[in-house]
Amino acid sequence: MSTVTDVEGEISSIPGRFELLQNYPNPFNPSTTIGFNVPEQSNVSLIVYNILGKEVRTLVNEVMQPGFHTIRFDASNLASGIYFYKLKMKNQIETKKMTLLK
């Protein structure tokens, strides 16, 4: 059995790439956390859509500093079902699926 006792290297607090993480917990009731990386200062939007593609909530729509960010999404006023959340920055877009169970 091998044990890591020392890790060398430099850890940067600024992420190297644009990335949308899977929400947790998933499935969730009634709230969940969404994490994402922003590699440079830019206008960022994070929008939640229902299964029909209708926008149900804008969580972020602002200029953000580089780094790792988390947003708490409270869906207590929404029906159970599958939702999609889309992160957009400049010409980059990522979308993930989440499930609300009540």
Whether residue 7 is predicted with pLDDT greater than 80 in this model: the reply is no
b (16+ CB within 10 A) / e for 26-62: eebeeebebebbbeeeeebebbbbbeeeeebbeebee
User: Which listed CATH number (3.30.1330.10, 1.10.8.60, 2.60.40.1930, 3.40.50.2300) goes with 19-100?
Assistant: 2.60.40.1930
Residues 18, 76: Cα–Cα separation, whole Å = 29
Query: Coil, strand, or helix at residue 99?
Result: strand
pTM of the model: 0.84
- List the chain domain ranges: 19-100
Whether residue 10 is predicted with pLDDT greater than 50 in this model: the reply is no
Whether residue 77 is predicted with pLDDT greater than 50 in this model: the reply is yes
pLDDT at 20: 97
Residues 75, 85: Cα–Cα separation, whole Å = 13
